Structure 1
Amino acid sequence: MGAITHALRITGSMTWQITWALILGFTLSAIIQAVVHKSTIGRLLGDDRPRTLAVASLLGAASSSCSYAAVALARSLFRKGANFTAATAFAFGSTNLVLELGVILWLLMGWQFTAAEFVGGPVMIVVLALLFRRFMKPALLREAREQADRGVAGSMEGHAAMDMAVAGDGSFWRRLLSRAGFTSVSHVFVMEWAAILRDLVIGLFIAGAIAAWVPDSFWEHFFLSGHPVLSGLWGPLIGPVVAVISFVCSIGNVPLALVLWKGGISFGGVTAFIFADLLILPILNIYKKYYGKRMAWFMLWTFFIAMAGAGYVVELLFNAFGWVPERGGTTVMTEGVTWNYTTWLNIVFLVLALVLVVRFLRTGGRAMLRMMGGGPTDHESMEHSGH
């Protein structure tokens, strides 16, 4: 019981530490999604030119941070005519360049990890685009499109099909501050939480258990932390492997990343681990359903190379500039709730979350939650204009 209590204390402390930042990140994401229609995104992703990939990455960064929803939406965009590479860049941006991920990384691990995410993310997308252009054959792409057009449902398919942006003309602020804008923000906010909650909870519990029960000596040997050169080479390779078998994706893998960093994984290794949320086993199975077995294998090895490669670039670059933080400066929290700035921020943002949840429930939100995990509706997207 003492060991279990210790693990739960760590889990609770990490949860309390990041609550306000999560609410802030998802609120800002909801505001952006409330005024940008998914049909607009699809029209901008028709090729794999550098400018298009940059736009895809930025649009992804403004979208959902749920890995399952990002994968489903990328398939939806591909079916509607988006270039496969651009749709994949959108998914990468959606899971690795979102604001809430950067905020949580900064809060739990330090600004260096946030910087590594936003430096390594574009590197990863560039490497992936080059691999796709060099090795993805037209026959493989045709096979993937035929499989995609069959519309086999996967996790969060209904969520990806929904478009809750405000309809109509007018300025950004006019649409956002309208009753329809308030409703749209509340709907996106709650649906995003529903999408990531499972992975976030699992990630927090896994991180708490590992931090409490696995001795540091195990990680030090596993990550070769006593050999700086070998550790730097090993980290970006083993980081994605740990991610694949952890079953935790999206923001849920940040608490585990903190534990791995404290355990001795290299800076580039922990970065590659965070990048690899699109390679966990359940999502690999979804790729197989969406695009067929051959394309799923192709995505596995190209994604792995891109993620590990970005980890190496981050490792070399941040070491060169002296930006790699001291390992002892990052701690896994174990303290409880105290009256400090975190508590006051949590109170303020929990009130904001409550306001948005009440608005969601009063404007048909329960029906949307029921449709969230299912396949697309009869319409390819649900236009939501508010109440």
Structure 2
Amino acid sequence: MHAILHALSITGSMAWEITWALILGFALSAVVQAVVRTSTVVALLGDDRPRTLALSAGLGAASSSCSYAAVALARSLFRRGADFTAAMAFEIASTNLVAELGVILALLMGWQFTLAEFTGGPIMIVVLAVLFRLLLRDRLLRTARAQAERGVAGAMEGHAAMDMSVRGEGSFARRLLSPDGFTATSHVFVMEWAAILRDLVVGLFVAGAIAAWVPDAFWRAFFFDGHPLASKFWGPLIGPLVAIASFVCSIGNVPLAVVLWKGGISFGGVVAFVFADLIILPILSIYRKYYGARMALFLLGTFYAAAVVAGYAVELVFGGLGLVPDQADATIPAEGVTWNYTTVLNIAFLLLAAALLTRFLRTGGLGMLRMMGGAPSTDSDHPHH
């Protein structure tokens, strides 16, 4: 019982530490999605030129941070005419370059990891684009498109197919501050939370259990701690494999990244671990349904290689600049709720979340929430009032 309570206390402390950051990140994402239409995004992602990929990364960074929703949205963009490489770049950015992930990394691990995230993410996209140019054959792409057009439903398909942006003319601020803008923001906000809550909770519980129950000696041996060169080589290779086996994706894997970092994985290994959220086993199964088994294996190989290269690049650059923090300073939040800036921010942002949730419930949000798990019969935009 003591061991269970210890694990739960670590889980609770981590959750309390990141609550305000999550609400802030999802609110910002909801604001953008409330005023930018999906059809506008598709029109901008018609090829795989560097400028287009940079734009797709920027649009992805402003959208959903749930891995399942990102994968479903990327398929929806691909079906509507977006270039496949651009859609995958959008997918990577929407889970690995979002504001809430950066803030949570800074809170739990340090600003260096946030900087590494925004450095390694573009590197991963560039590597993936190069691999696609060299290895992706037209025949495989045609097969994947044919499979995508069959409309096989997957996790979060309904959510991805909904375009909840505000209709009408006017400036960004005018549309956002209108009653429809408030309603659209509240709907996106709550549905984003519904999309990620399961993975976040699982990630926190897994991290709490591992932190409490797995001895540090195991991690030190597993990650070759004490052997600097071997550790730097091994970390980016093993990090994504740990992520694949952990089943935890998106923001949910940050608490586990804290445990791995404290346990001795290299700096580049942490980065590669975080970037592997789009090739965990459940998502590989979704790729198989969306694009076919061969494309699923192709995405596994290319995403893994891109995450590894990004991990090595970050390790070399940050190591050379002396920006890798000391692992001896790594700590896992365990103090619980105390009266400090975290508590003040949590109270303020929980009030914001309550206001958005109230608006959501008063404007028919529960009906749309039920649509999230299933694919609509068409891929047309859903008007929002």
TM-score between both structures, scaled by the size of structure 1: 0.99
Structure 1 residue 118 displacement after superposition? 0.1
Provide the rounded CA distance (Å) in 1 between the counterparts of 2:172 and 2:350: 26
What is the identity percentage for the equivalent residue pairs of Structure 1 and Structure 2?
72
Partner of 2:117: 117
Provide the rounded CA distance (Å) in 1 between the counterparts of 2:338 and 2:111: 24
Provide the rounded CA distance (Å) in 2 between the counterparts of 1:270 and 1:145: 34
Provide the rounded CA distance (Å) in 2 between the counterparts of 1:114 and 1:67: 18
- Whether contact under 8 Å (1:13, 1:333) holds in the other structure is yes
Partner of 2:126: 126
Provide the rounded CA distance (Å) in 1 between the counterparts of 2:289 and 2:113: 34
- Whether contact under 8 Å (1:120, 1:314) holds in the other structure is yes
Provide the rounded CA distance (Å) in 2 between the counterparts of 1:312 and 1:37: 37
Provide the rounded CA distance (Å) in 2 between the counterparts of 1:265 and 1:379: 43
Partner of 2:368: 368
Provide the rounded CA distance (Å) in 2 between the counterparts of 1:238 and 1:168: 49
Q: Amino acid of the residue matched to residue 47 of structure 2?
A: D
2:172 counterpart of 1:194: no
- Whether contact under 8 Å (1:128, 1:306) holds in the other structure is yes
Provide the rounded CA distance (Å) in 2 between the counterparts of 1:263 and 1:119: 24
| Cα displacement string for residues 8-36 of structure 1 (whole angstroms, at most 9, x for unaligned residues) | 00000000011011101111111111111
Structure 1 residue 333 displacement after superposition? 1.1
Structure 1 residue 377 displacement after superposition? 4.1
What SS does structure 1 have at the residue aligned with 2:312?
Answer: helix
Provide the rounded CA distance (Å) in 1 between the counterparts of 2:379 and 2:234: 48
Structure 1 residue 379 displacement after superposition? 4.9
Provide the rounded CA distance (Å) in 1 between the counterparts of 2:82 and 2:54: 14
Provide the rounded CA distance (Å) in 1 between the counterparts of 2:242 and 2:66: 19
Q: Amino acid of the residue matched to residue 91 of structure 2?
A: A
Partner of 1:265: 265
Partner of 1:167: 167
Q: Amino acid of the residue matched to residue 248 of structure 1?
A: V
Of the structure 1 ranges 373-382 and 171-180, higher mean CA displacement relative to structure 2 is found in: 373-382
Partner of 2:177: 177
Partner of 1:140: 140
Partner of 2:292: 292
Partner of 1:278: 278
2:207 counterpart of 1:207: yes
Provide the rounded CA distance (Å) in 2 between the counterparts of 1:148 and 1:227: 46
Provide the rounded CA distance (Å) in 1 between the counterparts of 2:193 and 2:175: 23
- Whether contact under 8 Å (1:20, 1:346) holds in the other structure is yes
Provide the rounded CA distance (Å) in 1 between the counterparts of 2:100 and 2:147: 33
Provide the rounded CA distance (Å) in 2 between the counterparts of 1:380 and 1:207: 40
What SS does structure 1 have at the residue aligned with 2:35?
Answer: coil
2:24 counterpart of 1:16: no
| Cα displacement string for residues 134-169 of structure 1 (whole angstroms, at most 9, x for unaligned residues) | 000111111111111111000000000111111111
2:214 counterpart of 1:241: no
| Cα displacement string for residues 145-198 of structure 1 (whole angstroms, at most 9, x for unaligned residues) | 111111100000000011111111101111111101111111110000000000
Q: Amino acid of the residue matched to residue 302 of structure 2?
A: T
Q: Amino acid of the residue matched to residue 313 of structure 2?
A: V
Q: Amino acid of the residue matched to residue 316 of structure 2?
A: L
2:377 counterpart of 1:380: no
Partner of 1:324: 324
Provide the rounded CA distance (Å) in 2 between the counterparts of 1:175 and 1:329: 46
- Whether contact under 8 Å (1:161, 1:377) holds in the other structure is no
Provide the rounded CA distance (Å) in 2 between the counterparts of 1:205 and 1:153: 29
Count of paired positions:
385
Provide the rounded CA distance (Å) in 1 between the counterparts of 2:92 and 2:311: 15
Q: Amino acid of the residue matched to residue 140 of structure 1?
A: L
What SS does structure 2 have at the residue aligned with 1:34?
Answer: helix
- Whether contact under 8 Å (1:158, 1:377) holds in the other structure is no
Q: Amino acid of the residue matched to residue 363 of structure 2?
A: T
2:302 counterpart of 1:302: yes
| Cα displacement string for residues 240-290 of structure 1 (whole angstroms, at most 9, x for unaligned residues) | 000001000010000000000000000000000000000100000000000
What SS does structure 2 have at the residue aligned with 1:382?
Answer: coil
Provide the rounded CA distance (Å) in 2 between the counterparts of 1:174 and 1:233: 52
Gaps of 5+ in 1: none
Provide the rounded CA distance (Å) in 1 between the counterparts of 2:363 and 2:11: 34
Provide the rounded CA distance (Å) in 2 between the counterparts of 1:275 and 1:27: 23
Provide the rounded CA distance (Å) in 1 between the counterparts of 2:153 and 2:231: 41
Provide the rounded CA distance (Å) in 2 between the counterparts of 1:338 and 1:100: 22
Structure 1 residue 336 displacement after superposition? 1.8
- 1:70-89 alignment runs, 5 A limit: 70-89=70-89
Structure 1 residue 329 displacement after superposition? 2.1
- Whether contact under 8 Å (1:235, 1:265) holds in the other structure is yes
Provide the rounded CA distance (Å) in 1 between the counterparts of 2:227 and 2:330: 21
Structure 1 residue 383 displacement after superposition? 2.4
Provide the rounded CA distance (Å) in 1 between the counterparts of 2:360 and 2:201: 22
Provide the rounded CA distance (Å) in 2 between the counterparts of 1:164 and 1:330: 41
Q: CA RMSD in A?
A: 0.7
Q: Amino acid of the residue matched to residue 221 of structure 1?
A: A
Q: Amino acid of the residue matched to residue 337 of structure 1?
A: V
Provide the rounded CA distance (Å) in 2 between the counterparts of 1:110 and 1:383: 42
Provide the rounded CA distance (Å) in 1 between the counterparts of 2:42 and 2:163: 12
Provide the rounded CA distance (Å) in 1 between the counterparts of 2:211 and 2:382: 43
2:295 counterpart of 1:313: no
- 1:43-54 alignment runs, 5 A limit: 43-54=43-54
Q: Amino acid of the residue matched to residue 142 of structure 1?
A: R
